[in-house]
Amino acid sequence: MQTLKVIKIGGNIIDDKQALHHFLEDFSKIKGPKILVHGGGKLATKLANQMGVEVKMTNGRRITDADTLDITTMVYAGKINKNIVAKLQANRCNAIGFSGADGNAIVSEKRPLKDIDYGFVGDVLKVNTNILEVLLNNKVTPVFCAITHDENGQLFNTNADTIASELAIGFAKKIQTELYYCFEKNGVLQNVDDDDSVIENINSENYKILINDGIIADGMLPKLNNCFHAIKHNVHKVCIGKPEMLFSLHTKHTTIQA
């Protein structure tokens, strides 16, 4: 098998119909084996409000009670996932939609209760790559949503960045694997108000300095932790930036190094 690309797209792409349309057109043209991972965007919150289900957040993360799990499963594994798969088929990219439960692909456990009870939120325990290898070898692209399971019938809402990282790590044991986090910015920025202030290379040493200086904070911290977790587990290449980085070597982006 050629180098595998695991590509994760964020909510800002999913929420923008035109941006998603253009991304999926370009994604379909990527040669070789690839896996797409998507988050949920704003649709789950919109549907929860319409259904009168309170949206509870803490530190920017969703608290997933039973009603919220139902909504996120419907939205992530249903509407968003199937719309993406249908659009890929329209672009002649044969794809199959996955949650972690499908093919027993991703097994999680309920996040341990510490300071905050996140509810039905799962932390990944293992990735089963065998069934995915069969699909990839037959030029079928898996498309993962942010839902996993525990092998005992319980579904979990699971961070999509983590799913992408764990999928890449699972395959890195067998083949050369690259991980790309695509979102609306050019990469990790020195100045959040200047989209051209891209920090092009981050390693474990300057990462600590960037955190101490407050340049990397909030939602970028868990994303970069997933990046370093992947690099430490033999993922060959990890990059953050706009989707254009996938198609042009000259597009500014951030590369994570050991």
pLDDT at 41: 79
CATH number, domain with residue 185: 3.40.1160.10
Q: Taking 80 as the threshold, does the pLDDT of residue 116 lie above it?
A: yes
Q: Which domain holds residue 233?
A: 4-256
- Enumerate long-range contacts of 87-94, CB under 8 Å, 24 or more apart: 87/20, 87/21, 87/24, 88/24, 88/27, 88/28, 88/36, 88/141, 88/143, 91/24, 91/25, 91/28, 92/28, 93/24, 93/27, 93/28, 93/141, 94/139, 94/140, 94/141
pLDDT at 60: 65
168-225 pLDDT, tens per residue? Answer: 999 999 999 999 999 999 999 999 899 999 999 999 999 999 999 999 988 889 999 9
Mean pLDDT of the chain: 94
Structural domains of the chain, count: 1
Q: Which residue has the higher pLDDT, 129 or 249?
A: 129
pLDDT at 14: 95
